[in-house]
Chains A and B, each alone.
Chain A
Amino acid sequence: MLSAESLAKIDREVAKYPADQKRSATMSALRIAQQEKGWLATETIEFVANYLGIPPVAAYEVATFYNMYDLKPVGKHKLTVCTNLPCALSGGYDAADYLKQKLGIDFGETSADGRFTLVEGECMGACGDAPVMLLNNHSMCSFMTREAIDKKLAELE
């Protein structure tokens, strides 16, 4: 269900916690599974739960509580734009509007070619770089002016 490489990564996470507290690795195990699969299908979540020896509902509860887990398929590139107050004061809404126009999609939608999903995000803790955009959950893109957005999207072609 998951590759040997992903399982080895999960094992490294499990080793961080006391032997009787494997459940603590749920968040990172789900993250690792999502990185391999692109999103978290119910059977992926169940697999992770069984691998950690916890009830499936315990893993499902985590997957549904934290908003960086994707419970539906997303585009090849997921773009999360922050529009919270500090980003808004430095062009967060302009960045969001420009992306919507350029990609032809609204927040929560995926482009017809399956390449981009656009998401409205909450504070990412990088307000000094405002406006910011998170690419595929893990890569912070700073100072997202229209020019910077053009450049970033060109890199992702």
Chain B
Amino acid sequence: MAVFANGILFEGVDTSDPNCWKIEAYQARGGYQALKKILTEGISQDDVIAELKTSSLRGRGGAGFPTGLKWSFMPRSFPGDKYVVCNTDEGEPGTFKDRDILRFNPHALIEGMIIAGYAMGAARGYNYIHGEIFAEYERFEEALDEARRAGFLGQNILGSTFSYELFAHHGYGAYICGEETALLESLEGKKGQPRFKPPFPASFGLYGKPTTINNTETFASVPYIITQGGQKFLELGKPNNGGTKLFSVSGHVNRPGNYEIPLGTPFAELLEMAGGMRGGKKLKAVIPGGSSAPVLPGDIMMQCTMDYDSIAKAGSMLGSGAVIVMNEDVCMVRALERLAYFYHEESCGQCTPCREGTGWLYRVIHRILNGEGRPEDLELLDSVGNNMAGRTICALADAAVFPVRSFTKHFRHEFEHLIEHKTPLVNHKWC
């Protein structure tokens, strides 16, 4: 798989070197200098958070929430247990960037999480890792051991008064645990069912203590911001969209893989980097931010730049940066049916609108696909969706509804054709 580095996370990382992830290699690339700078120069918690705010770093897990602001919500100067939690439960279809961070540069994440602990007054952190990437979980455990031996974790780090422990926890097959409060429940050894918010994790998180949860890529971006300055990070991207970002490109391209590029790069350039369309086929549609993001027709996508604001303006969201590319041979009813099945399968069952609604969506799309659709089915999908979105504890219901709304909006004629003629408009080929 291709990893194209033109940013900060994989800068100087030779992914063909089997030892590129080790602490010696990381330190040779300037690793742990940010932590040393903070502890030896006595940079204050407030100054670390201020630097993050300057950087305009936004959460890389999907929501795009400003990281500096999130960190400032923690009661950092109050005594008592506080936790830093990393969300590496990467299961959003199309997303595979955090796996590569653990594979090739895990110490950037470890250093970022240590700095987070310092800035928020937490003495303990956990990284929750998707169960399916077990080899990466084991590698992360090895990297943690290296960091402990080097004195970057444990008591009185680098001779300072700051002490911090960090551990890895693995999931075991549940998409819902990528939702931050479900993740906390799972980390506590329970079913991963989301909690009501408020209270928010910053006041009532892991074991009921103040907790901040960030995505892997977010934490891993922090060391650069400390050593190079928030302003420099911001300038890598564009205003309100600081930095470079990893885009996971999958589907009908010649070179699927992770591409780290400045936010604001035109989609056309990203497609070109990924080798263009496989077999020279025509671009039909793109899901720009993971399966939960609304799909966009190819011609709209070709006008977009890859940043939070441009994609939002086009009616979708940048999400986790998972770009799923589809060519002209894809029947959009069939593509949507597969996604609807996923959400039905992964609904945790806690809220009735989601538990029942995801099944309704799947069954109705399934019958349309199989030539058994009824004239009222598109209205029915709308109605079911309206009874799901915004009516549940977490956003999984909304995530299930977004694709349905966007597929039936932009490719309505394919649904109508199937309902009317009982056969698909497109002679579907997956690949």
Task: Give chain B residues whose Cβ lies under 8 Å from the Cβ of A58.
Answer: 189-190
**A125, B96: Cα distance in complex, Å:** 5
Closest to A125 in B: B90
- Selected from A25, A89, A121, A142, the residue in CB contact (under 8 A) with B431 is A89
Which chain B residues border A26 with CB–CB below 8 Å?
Answer: 189-190
* A55 CA / B27 CA spacing, docked (Å): 46
Question: Interface stretch among A16-24, A99-107, A110-118, A147-155?
Answer: A16-24
Interface band, chain A: 35 or more
Stretch at the interface among B62-70, B250-258, B392-400: B250-258
User: CA A83 – CA B430 in complex, angstroms?
Assistant: 11
Whether B309 sits at the interface, judged by CB under 8 Å, is no
Interface residues of B in 390-431 (CB under 8 A from A): 430-431
Flag if B189 contacts A24 (CB, 8 Å): yes
A137 CA to B98 CA, complexed, in Å? 19
Contact in complex: B170, A28 (CB < 8 Å): yes
A124 at the binding interface (Cβ < 8 Å): yes
Please, how many angstroms separate the alpha-carbon atoms of A18 and B81 in the complex? 11
Chain A residues 102 to 147 lying within 8 A of chain B, measured CB to CB, are 121-130, 134, 137-140, 142
For residue B131, CB closer than 8 A to chain A, the reply is: yes
Contact of A62 among B191, B248, B249 (CB under 8 A): B191
The segment from B10-18, B110-118, B132-140 that touches chain A is B132-140
Residues of A within 8 A of B94 (CB): 85-86, 123, 127
Q: Mark interface residues in B265-304 (1 if CB within 8 Å of A CB, else 0).
A: 0000000000000000000000000010000000000000
Complex alpha-carbon distance, A26 and B250, angstroms: 34
Question: B174 contacts A65, CB within 8 Å?
Answer: yes
Q: Given contacts A23-B189, A89-B250, A89-B251, are A84 and B93 in contact (CB under 8 A)?
A: yes
Contact B91 A27 (CB under 8 A): no
Q: Is the CB of B346 within 8 A of A122?
A: yes
Contact size range, B: 35 or more
User: Is the beta-carbon distance between A125 and B169 smaller than 8 angstroms?
Assistant: no
Contact B188 A23 (CB under 8 A): yes
Bound-state CA distance A65–B92 (Å) is 18
Asked whether A125 lies within 8 Å of B190 as measured between CB atoms, the reply is no
Residues of B within 8 A of A30 (CB): 172
The closest CB in chain A to the CB of B339 belongs to A85
With contacts A31-B172, A66-B172, A142-B1 taken as known, whether A86 is within 8 angstroms of B132 at the C-beta atoms is: no
A84-B338, A84-B342 given; A27·B257 CB < 8 A: no
In the bound complex, do residue B91 and residue A122 qualify as a contact, i.e. CB atoms below 8 Å apart? yes
CB-CB under 8 A from B146, the residues of chain A are none
Residue of B126, B168, B173 with most chain A CB atoms under a 10 A cut-off? B173
Quick one: given A58-B190, A84-B342, A86-B94, are A125 and B132 in contact (CB under 8 Å)? yes
B312 lies within 8 A of chain A by Cβ = no
Q: Is the CB of A25 within 8 A of B256?
A: no
Q: Which residue of B lies closest to A59 (CB)?
A: B189
Cβ–Cβ < 8 Å partners of B252 in chain A? 89
B242 at interface (Cβ–Cβ under 8 A)? no
Q: Which residue of A lies closest to B129 (CB)?
A: A125
Q: Give the residue name and chain of the A residue nearest to B165 (CB).
A: A16
Contacts of B316 in A (CB 8 A): none
Instruction: Report Cα–Cα, A66/B95, bound state, in Å.
Output: 20
- If A84-B342, A85-B335, A123-B91 touch, whether A27 touches B186 (CB-CB below 8 Å) is yes
Any chain A CB within 8 A of the CB of B224?
no
Knowing A61-B191, A124-B132, A127-B93 touch, does A89 contact B330 (C-beta < 8 A)? yes
Known A89-B252, A128-B250: A21·B135 in contact at CB below 8 Å: no
A157 to B6, CA, bound (A): 43
Q: A61-B190, A89-B250 are in contact. Are A94 and B430 (CB under 8 A)?
A: yes
| Other-chain residue from A27, A54, A66, A86 in contact with B324 (beta carbon distance below 8 A) | A86
Residues of B participating in the A interface, judged by any CB pair closer than 8 Å: 1-2, 81, 90-96, 98-99, 126, 130-135, 167-175, 186-192, 207, 248-252, 256-258, 291, 322, 324-326, 330, 335, 338-339, 342, 345-346, 348, 430-431
The interface of chain A, by Cβ under 8 A from chain B, is: 16-18, 21, 23-28, 30-31, 54, 58, 61-62, 65-69, 83-86, 88-94, 121-130, 134, 137-140, 142
The 7 listed contacts between A and B (C-beta, < 8 Å) are A21-B188, A30-B172, A31-B170, A58-B190, A85-B291, A89-B330, A124-B130
